[in-house]
Structure 1
């Protein structure tokens, strides 16, 4: 799977008509953290921002596939 850009992820939300805030709530993340990842304010190297980026498809999952 190739990674998406934050702009592509935002466009996907828009096409689906799903608010980013709803995705954050549904996945147990703070809305501000998700917006920081999508707007480039978090480096996403570790922790919650990295986890969010992986779930959104912005970064590849570092775990080996089994």
Structure 2
């Protein structure tokens, strides 16, 4: 899944980035950066966000 597809999936469910971040315990700015593709989610919280969004596998 690409960041654009993840963003679309959230939009279809009516979930904003703020809602997603709050409900999953993530920093809003990190979620936005991962959804926009400016942060590839290679490590740390960004990686956890990417995994939760389905952009990366658990071991990636």
TM over 0.5: yes
Greater share of residues in helix: 2
| SS of match in other structure, 1:45 | coil
Larger Rg: 1
Higher RCO, Cα 8 Å, sep 6+? 1
Q: Which runs of 5+ in 2 are unaligned?
A: none
Q: TM-score, length-normalised on structure 1?
A: 0.82
Q: TM-score, length-normalised on structure 2?
A: 0.89
2:8 aligned residue: 11
Residue correspondences, number: 60
Give the drift of 1:17: 0.9
Q: Which runs of 5+ in 1 are unaligned?
A: none
